[in-house]
Amino acid sequence: MRDVAIIGVGCTEFGELWDKSFRELFVEAGVSAIEDANVQGGKIDALYVGNMSGGRFIEQEHLGALIADYSGLASLNVPSTRVEAACASGGLALRQGILAVASGYHDIVVAGGAEKMTDVGVETTTDALAAAADREWEGIMGATFPGLYAMIARLHMHKYGTTQEQLAAVAVKNHHNGTMNPKAQFQNEISIETVTNSLMVADPLRVFDCSPITDGASAVVIAPAEIAKKYCDTPVYVKASAQASGTISLHDRPDITTLDATVAAANWAYKMAKLKPKDISFAEVHDCFTIAEICAIEDLGFVKKGEGGPATESGMTALGGKVPINPSGGLKACGHPVGATGVKQAVEITLQLRGEAGKRQINGAKIGLTHNVGGSGGTAVVHIFGREK
Amino acid sequence: MSVPRFWRRLKNLYNLIGTHCEKCGRFFYPPRNMCPKCRRNGIVSPFKFKGSGVVVTYTIVHTSAKDYSKLTPYILAIIKLDEGPSLTSQVICDHSQICIGMRVRSAFRKLGEESDKGMIYYGTKFVPMEEKA
Ligand SMILES: [Zn+2]
C-alpha cells in the first residue's frame, strides 16, 4: 500500500441554492478542487461521487456517468463510480478514492460528494431521509430521522443527566464557528434560548437541535504521497482511513447511546495512524443533531462516556478549547447536503492544516480527524489527516 | 410502501410473530431468517411473543412524514420485550404518563394511512400494562 495525500480541495457554498442543479454543483466543486491542485483534466484517472438519494431528490440515478459527462471526462472515458451510504456517502466516496490510490490502481483521483435537497417538498425530503433507517421495521412505525436521534437524546439524558442546555450548547458553538465560514448556510450567532425556545420536532429535539436541509457539493483531489509535492506545496497526508458497520435499526443496538460503528472505526483509525485521541488537534464530527455531536466526542474517545454534555458546556470543544470540534460550523451551521458532508469535512481539515482557514484558523493544528455517520449509526467513516507523513 | 411489501409482513405485524434460534436460544423481533450469532449453523423457526415489555427510550414526534401526519404528536418508543429483543413502535397513552422503564403490552392498532383513498396500515402498538387494550 502507498501513502496518500490530498493535493487540492473545493467546495460550493452550502444553502438553499434554487438556481443551481445537482450537476452544476458537483462540477463547480470539482473544478475548484482540480484548480487548487493545479491538475489538468487529462491527468484524472478516476472519479468517485458520494450521493445518498439522487433517485428521490432529483429523480436521477446513474450519477457516476452524469458527473463524468458534465465534468468533460466522458470523452476521455474516465471511470466514475457513485457511492452510497446514506449521510456517510461522502466519507465513503473519499475512502474509495484513498483506497484506489493507496492500492496503486490509480494515481490522481477526484473524490467528491453532492446532494440537491431543495428540488422537492419537505415531506418528500423527510421520507427520503427516513430511508437511512430500517423502512420496514422503524419507518412503518412512524420513526423519523429526528425521532431516532431524539430517542438517543432521551436515554442519554436519563443515564447521564445530560441537559437541554448542554444539547443547545452544541448548536450555539457551531453557529458561532459558522459566522467565520463564508460557505456556511447559517452565519449568524444564536443563544441557548434560541435553541430551547424553538419549535419542537421530536421531544427533546427542537428545530435548532437539527441540521438543516441543504444543497451543496465538495471535492478533493487525491494523489500518491511521493508525487504530492509536485502539485502542491502543502499536501495533507492521510494517516488513516477506517469504516465500520453497525445495526441499521437503532433498537438492535446493545447501547442506544453508543454508536458501535463509530467506536470500531475510530479504534481502527487510531491504530492505523499510531495515534491516541489525545493526539488529535481538532475534529470535524457528524453533528446531524446536537446529541449526535455529544455522542461523537464520547465515542471518538475525546471524553469519557456520559461526559459529552458537560465538556461542551465548559468550552472544551470551542475554538481555542482543548479539542476544537467542528471549526467549520459543522453540519448544524454549514448545512448538511447529505452526500457532500463527508467530503466537506476533509476540505475543512485540509484548509486548517494548511493554515488557510481564515478567522476560524486553529493555531498550530497538526492532526485533524473527520467522522461521518450514515443513518443512526449503520455506517461510520473515520479519517485522520496530518501535515506530515 | 407498496402493497406486496406490506402484505408480506402482515403475520408478523398483526400477531407479533418473530423468530427464535434453536441453536443459541436467542429471540428475534423483527424476525430474522438467519441468526446473526450462529449464522449458517443456526436453526431459526417462527416464535409468537407474549407482547409484554418495558420502554427503553421514547420521543414525542411532532413533525412526521406525510403518511403519519394525522397522528401527530405521537409517542414513538423502543420497547424491550420480556423474551429479549427490542423493537420500535408507538405507545398509546397520555403524553405526561410515558417514561423510561414503564411496563407496556401489545395492542392491535391502526399505524397510518397513505392518503384519503390509499392503503391503511394496521399493526402492533403498545399500551400501559394496567390498562385494557
Ligand atoms: Zn443462534
Q: In the 3-class helix/strand/coil scheme, how is A349-383 assigned residue by residue?
A: HHHHHHCCCHHHCCCCCCEEEEEEEECCCCEEEEE
In this complex, do A203 and B60 lie within 8 Å of one another by their Cβ atoms? Answer: yes
DSSP for A313-335? HTTTTSTTSSS-B-TT-HHHHH-
Query: Which of the residues A11, A87, A288, A295 is marked catalytic?
Result: A87
- DSSP state at residue B119: P
Average pLDDT over residues B44-58: 97
In this complex, do A203 and B59 lie within 8 Å of one another by their Cβ atoms? Answer: yes
Report yes or no: A71 and A33 within 8 Å, Cβ to Cβ: no
In single-letter form, the type of residue at position A44 comes to I
In this complex, do B78 and A158 lie within 8 Å of one another by their Cβ atoms? Answer: no
Residue ranges of B 90-119 with Cβ closer than 8 A to chain A: 90, 100, 111-112
State in Å: Cα A116 to ligand 1 middle. Answer: 43
Average pLDDT over residues A192-205: 98
Average pLDDT over residues A266-272: 98
Q: Is A87 a catalytic residue?
A: yes
Residue ranges of B 39-68 with Cβ closer than 8 A to chain A: 56-66, 68
Contacts B112 to A, Cβ<8 Å: 140, 142
Give the tens place of pLDDT for each residue, A325-361: 999 999 999 999 999 999 999 999 999 999 999 999 9
Give the tens place of pLDDT for each residue, A36-77: 999 998 999 999 999 999 999 999 999 999 999 999 999 999
Reply yes or no on whether the pLDDT at A219 is more than 90: yes
A226 exposure class (CB count in 10 Å sphere: 0-12, 13-18, 19+): exposed
Return the half-sphere exposure (C-beta side, CA atoms, 13 A cut-off) of residue B103: 5
> CA dihedral defined by A12, A66, A374, A146, rounded to 10 degrees?
70
Q: Is A334 a catalytic residue?
A: no
A301 exposure class (CB count in 10 Å sphere: 0-12, 13-18, 19+): middle
State in Å: Cα B28 to ligand 1 middle. Answer: 10
Higher per-residue pLDDT: A78 or B133? A78
Position of cell 436515554?
Answer: A155
Residue count of chain A, please give it: 389
Query: Which of the residues A106, A336, A371, A383 is marked catalytic?
Result: A336
In angstroms, rounded to a whole number, what is the distance separating the alpha carbons of residues A27 and A73? 11
Contacts B59 to A, Cβ<8 Å: 147, 150-151, 153-154, 202-205
Residues with CB under 5 A from ligand 1 (ion): B 21, 23-24, 35, 37-38, 42
Reply yes or no on whether the pLDDT at A35 is more than 70: yes
Q: Count the Cβ atoms, other than its own, within 10 Å of residue B130.
A: 7
Q: Which residues contact A161 (CB under 8 A, 6 or more apart)?
A: A309
| Average pLDDT in chain B | 90
Reply yes or no on whether the pLDDT at B132 is more than 60: no
Read off the C-alpha cell for B91: 405507545
State in Å: Cα B33 to ligand 1 middle. Answer: 11
The closest CB to that of B61, out of A127, A139, A144, belongs to A144
Reply yes or no on whether the pLDDT at B131 is more than 70: no
In this complex, do B1 and A140 lie within 8 Å of one another by their Cβ atoms? Answer: yes
In angstroms, rounded to a whole number, what is the distance separating the alpha carbons of residues A331 and A129? 15
By C-alpha distance, the chain A residue nearest B12 is A137
What percent of chain A lies above the pLDDT cut of 90?
Answer: 97
Pairs across A and B, CB distance < 8 A: 103
In this complex, do A249 and B60 lie within 8 Å of one another by their Cβ atoms? Answer: no
In this complex, do A204 and B9 lie within 8 Å of one another by their Cβ atoms? Answer: no
Average pLDDT over residues A2-25: 98
Q: Does B127 touch chain A (CB under 8 A)?
A: no
Reply yes or no on whether the pLDDT at A192 is more than 70: yes
Read off the C-alpha cell for B57: 427510550
In this complex, do B88 and A250 lie within 8 Å of one another by their Cβ atoms? Answer: yes
In this complex, do A138 and B88 lie within 8 Å of one another by their Cβ atoms? Answer: yes
pLDDT tier for residue B1 given thresholds of 50, 70 and 90: low
In angstroms, rounded to a whole number, what is the distance separating the alpha carbons of residues A140 and B89? 9
Residue B33, pLDDT score: 94
Give the tens place of pLDDT for each residue, B83-126: 999 999 999 999 999 999 999 999 998 887 777 777 788 889 99
Q: Count the Cβ atoms, other than its own, within 10 Å of residue B85.
A: 23
A80 exposure class (CB count in 10 Å sphere: 0-12, 13-18, 19+): buried
Reply yes or no on whether the pLDDT at A303 is more than 80: yes
Read off the C-alpha cell for A72: 468533460
Give the tens place of pLDDT for each residue, B15-28: 899 999 999 999 99
State in Å: Cα B107 to ligand 1 middle. Answer: 29
Average pLDDT over residues A243-260: 97
- Helix axes of A63-70 and A22-37: crossing angle, nearest 10 degrees: 60
> CA dihedral defined by A229, A382, A80, A8, rounded to 10 degrees?
-30
